Structure 1
Amino acid sequence: MSSVHHPVRRFGTVPARRRLALAVPVVLVSAALTVLTGCSSTTGTAAAQASSASPATVGTAAPGTHSPGAPEADRPAAPVEIAIPSIGITSSLMELGLNADETVEVPPAEKGMTAGWYTGGSVPGEAGAAVIIGHNDTRFGKAVFHDLKKIAKGADITVTDDRGESARFTVTGTESVSKNSFPTEKVYGPTEEHALRLITCDGDFDAQGHPVNNLIVYATLD
């Protein structure tokens, strides 16, 4: 599915064609805010970061984030695995960037059991908000974050990078929010914390079979 830009003064929604696990709003770094949200069983819906540090051109990595072309010694290590032992989740991590329409990629439906790290945010373990997105379910069935709703405050989350080093986080809270009022600034905005956010879909289904909420897990570095 290709998302439809929907300029609004406040956060709004873009309907999707079929049920899926994931829908996250978008805030673009531009003169005006453009908001996208919805569910789809293919790539094309997700969220972009509310700018932290200095504004960056949409489509480039924010300062301090992973740049695939950078020399090994000059770039931060990229996260490659997430583990949440208390709920039995372990997944490799794909990198999620921006689509041609400036929405953020989500893992494709056929890779529903793989979570993704949004490269426009912080690297997990560094200062700022690192965001990992995963499906609840897809047209193929249950997906990687299907049981994320079972996570409890105080649970451990470990993110391992491509150099074999691990960052351990502790869950500080969760919230299920309407996609119409997603707290974009709270999730993606600047923070001095070494923060981690996990996002999937949640809640009841609307008449079209789309989940009406997003589940957000907040965690900080130990």
Structure 2
Amino acid sequence: MIVKNRNSRKRKVFTIILVIAWLSFAGFSAYYVYTHFIDVKPEVITRVDPNGVEIKVDERPVTVQAKQEWTVPASHPRYISIPKLGIENARIVQLGIIKKTGQLDAPVSIHDAGWYNGSALPGKGGAMLMDGHNGGPNFGGIFEKLRELKNGDEIIIERGDGKKLTYVVKDNRDMNVKDINDPSNKWGMATMTNSIEAGKEGLNIITCVGQWDERSQTFNERTMLRAVIK
């Protein structure tokens, strides 16, 4: 009986040790998941692409005050709203071409849209070209759901003078990077400063989608949206 009692006590002690070890592991796992995947704080993230270009991505939310205080010249686009996607008065920043790569730049904030200053002005004919992030490393961006827009959906641009212009989607498609850079492709990047309908003012928007390519440090596809003034 003494031997049996000793074996029983050993089993109990071993069981208790196993339970404590399991609880410790579970607690650590929960803490790791929370700190690395749930309790991630929006911040400014800096990386360098394969061309040596430093890229900053700001995931922090844009405050209501910052939106209200945003100003641009009277003829420039100031805000973009897309009712179907729940986007209301997102700021539009002016962008150019990155000299080192020849590519269109992108806004620093994932919540801003960018207007290419080599494209048309709103209400002046031609076609505006805009871009923006589908998201940052940890949070979704302004155009995260751009691919969900269908023909007939509306996009509203407000200029610096307060005038609002409404555009309706005419085409929205995903394409791989190789195809969009093909100059012979009528749906590629070479035509994104042209209106999809001759004689009608256009609004074209591009954003990244698809899978992340570690080698090129970018996504392997783009959503290419084309709209015309209503």
TM-score (norm: length of structure 2): 0.60
- Tell whether 2:211 aligns with 1:204: yes
8 Å CA contact 2:194, 2:202 repeated in 1: no
Deviation sequence 1:146-184 (CA, Å, 0-9, x none):
111211110011000010001110001101111111012
Deviation sequence 1:98-153 (CA, Å, 0-9, x none):
34435432111xx1111111111001232212011110011241111111121111
Which residues in structure 2 correspond to 1:117-136 (within 5 Å)? 117-136=115-134
Rounded to whole Å, the distance in 2 between the matches of 1:141 and 1:41 is 17
Pair 3,219 (structure 1): closer, same or farther in 2 beyond 3 Å: farther
Which of structures 1 and 2 has the bigger CA Rg?
Answer: 2
Which residues in structure 2 correspond to 1:111-190 (within 5 Å)? 111-182=109-180, 183-189=188-194
Which residue of 2 is the match for residue 107 of structure 1?
107
Unpaired segments of 5 or more residues in structure 2? 1-47, 58-71, 181-187
Unpaired segments of 5 or more residues in structure 1? 5-15, 18-39, 44-67
8 Å CA contact 1:117, 1:133 repeated in 2: yes
Rounded to whole Å, the distance in 1 between the matches of 2:121 and 2:202 is 10
Rounded to whole Å, the distance in 2 between the matches of 1:2 and 1:115 is 21
Pair 211,100 (structure 1): closer, same or farther in 2 beyond 3 Å: closer
Bigger RCO (CA 8 Å, 6+ sep): 1
Alpha-carbon RMSD across the aligned residues, in angstroms, is 2.7
Which residue of 1 is the match for residue 200 of structure 2?
193
Rounded to whole Å, the distance in 1 between the matches of 2:157 and 2:131 is 13
Aligned length: 157
Pair 175,120 (structure 1): closer, same or farther in 2 beyond 3 Å: same
Give identity over the alignment, percent: 22
SS in 1 for 2:56: coil
